[in-house]
Structure 1
């Protein structure tokens, strides 16, 4: 599904460990892999300038074993100086990256509002998908487990769907990727529709009719995705969107949750309700975030 990837690390997220797993990432379908780290400018002098010492230390930590690179795979390490988001966008454009991989800290909403979030700012400005990988997940995996994880980054996707404009565009965007680039490391997909419950008690018959209508619509999406070679299953239930999606992620052997939103940063900053923001904040599984852009803009 993706051939080129930019892996951004601040060294606290553990993603620099992936320099040891280039063959595994190549098995996932990547033929161009760029590792990058940004170092803040030194501001103790009147004119900000690069911190050469810290940059040299970062280059040492991002070294890749050149003898371990499969034939036909290009690997680069980039250490740049400046604001992280600006640096990420520039390096991604320079290398034609199709996917960004960043760490996710599972911070609280308060912590995010106080300290900001590279992922949230990227979501407002980037035009390619972002794969967020929880720091706790990377830290807990042994080398053997991380090797397998790199091979199956998005092998089995959980795809929330509720017939909204965002979910429709997400499925169209995914279909466009599969048509243009093939399945790559993506093989199976679980389509999930959670019909929100709560408030006044709904009549049983009305709830049944909602579920039946949802199943008809989600079956149509299933056929469209299956026609591209994906193995697709569906799950339609009554419940709480975020809670049920995270439970499905835990119990369904998925590799990543795919989400989309055109106002993620706005929702995050002002604490407005957003399923996408809550999934991104609370998930202990990787989250594949698609900005809501027309497929032909990619």
Structure 2
């Protein structure tokens, strides 16, 4: 599924922890790793050799750690700012997944993993796995990336983007995921003016849709369904809090998408706030 995985690093302790997630991707088909460090230069490219030399010891240490997976690791040092370089290297190396952290540290504001994550999600044409990083007082990082393929939480709004994400859920189940929780949240702030009968019709239609998805998975996994009401972000986070060992899989562009607005605001908010790792599947976009 994810044969070539691109792992951007800012060389912080948090990025050490993100790199440790790589081993959990081997069951998902990972066959090679590209470790990328962006120097963050917008100008003064002549500084690149000195900055690369300074970064090399830490970068080589991270590469050695990744090679413990038994897979080949290519190290790439790029001169530009992280989001642009991640997009370029992902295309050039035909990456099938980008692995990022939701918290990091760096001397340059462009390299803060939080901001890099948001812009990468906006740009990426391949799935992005956001690993939640919790930095300890000792500056050491910890992630929640264990057993990624065992338990899945899949929020859906039944959009084309959600259907694309569900294809990855099917593949994860085929690869060994044991349980899947499906959730659809009806935002009751929206259907003003509808009668109770009409709202009941919405419930029935959405339960039927969830049932269709569940039927595709039940031959090989335990499946539960949840039709929730309220804020999509809060309800998804509520479910995720009850499933701390889950992998959240969702699309980044749902119904009502406006290109000028932050892409997939619900999925981005979940990626920022959930304690579980979040696999975000982009919608098809033009080149």
Question: In 2 relative to 1, CA 66–218 (structure 1 residues): closer, same or farther, beyond 3 Å?
Answer: closer
What value does the CA root-mean-square deviation take over the aligned residues?
Answer: 3.9
- 2:266 counterpart of 1:275: yes
Which residue of structure 1 aligns with residue 102 of structure 2? 104
Does the aligned pair in 2 maintain the 1:183–1:230 contact within 8 Å?
no
TM-score by length of 2: 0.76
Q: How does 1:67-146 map to 2 (within 5 A)?
A: 69-71=68-70, 73-105=71-103, 117-136=115-134, 139=136, 146=143
Aligned-partner Cα distance in 2 for 1:12–1:143: 9
CA-to-aligned-CA distance 1:13-39 (integer Å, 9 cap, x gap): 712235556655435542212222110
Structure 1 gaps of 5+ residues are none
What does residue 219 of structure 1 align with?
A: 211
CA distance in 2, matches of 1:206, 1:141: 55
Distance between the aligned counterparts of 2:162 and 2:216, measured in 1?
14
Q: Structure 2: which 5+ residue stretches go unaligned?
A: none
Counterpart CA distance in 2 for 1:31 and 1:69 is 13
Change (3 A) 1:239 1:277: same
* 1:13–1:135 contact (8 Å) kept in structure 2: no
The SS at the match of 1:289 is strand
Provide closer, same or farther for how the CA distance between residues 22 and 117 of structure 1 changes in structure 2, counting only shifts above 3 A.
closer
* Count of paired positions: 274
TM-score normalized with structure 1 length: 0.74
| Inter-partner Cα distance in structure 1 for 2:242 and 2:138 | 19
Does residue 56 in structure 1 map to residue 53 in structure 2? yes
**What are the within-5 Å matches in structure 2 for residues 1-298 of structure 1?**
1-12=1-12, 14-19=14-19, 23-26=23-26, 29-41=29-41, 43-44=43-44, 48-62=45-59, 63=61, 64-65=63-64, 69-71=68-70, 73-105=71-103, 117-136=115-134, 139=136, 146=143, 149-172=144-167, 174-175=169-170, 177=171, 182-183=174-175, 186-198=177-189, 206-226=198-218, 229-262=220-253, 266-268=260-262, 274-293=265-284
- Which string of whole-angstrom CA distances, capped at 9 and with x for unpartnered residues, describes residues 81-124 of structure 1? 21212321232234332110112249xxxx99xxx933333334
Question: CA 1:246–1:84 in 2, change beyond 3 Å: closer, same or farther?
Answer: same
Distance 1:22 1:166 in 2: 26
Bigger mean CA deviation after superposition, 57-66 or 198-207:
198-207
